[in-house]
């Protein structure tokens, strides 16, 4: 099974992109990309993985699994949530995050009272 680093290097090379090209396309600084591609950063955040998945045309769930984010149902939901947030204005993104925080607090309160 290939590593996350190997999959990402291959995907970038398939696009014939330099690290600077990848930086421009993903919004991820090329020094950070180098660390991910060398395996120095073995478990990048789901947000970074989403940007890489979208730009490199690589399956998000595959990247999540290779990075050690293993719960598949969670990764599907997380990917959907990140994609939805990405399509919103910064103001609407803030509203969505505030809403999610409220839901999390309510869930925590409901669980602690049971």
pLDDT average per 10 residues of sequence, the chain (114 residues): 96 98 95 96 90 92 88 68 84 89 79 60
Tell me 114's DSSP state.
-
Q: Please give the pLDDT value at position 41.
A: 95
- Domains of the chain, CATH where assigned: 4-88 (1.10.260.40)
Other C-beta atoms closer than 10 Å to the C-beta of 81 total 14
Tokens of 111: 């669980």
Model pLDDT, residue 102: 87
On whether the pTM is more than 0.85, the answer is no
Of residues 55, 66, 65, the one with CA closest to residue 11: 55
Query: For residue 63, what pLDDT is reported?
Result: 92
């Amino acid at each position: 099974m290939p590593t996350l680093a190997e999959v990402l290097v291959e995907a970038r090379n398939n696009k014939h992109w330099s690290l600077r090209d990848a930086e421009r396309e993903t919004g991820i600084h090329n020094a950070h990309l180098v660390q991910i591609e060398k395996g120095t950063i073995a478990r990048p955040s789901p947000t970074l993985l989403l940007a890489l998945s979208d730009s490199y045309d690589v399956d998000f769930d595959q990247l999540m699994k290779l990075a050690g984010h293993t719960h598949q149902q969670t990764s599907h939901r997380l990917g959907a949530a990140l994609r939805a947030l990405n399509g919103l204005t910064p103001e609407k993104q803030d509203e969505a995050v505030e809403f999610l925080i409220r839901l999390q607090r309510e869930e925590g309160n409901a669980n602690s009272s049971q």
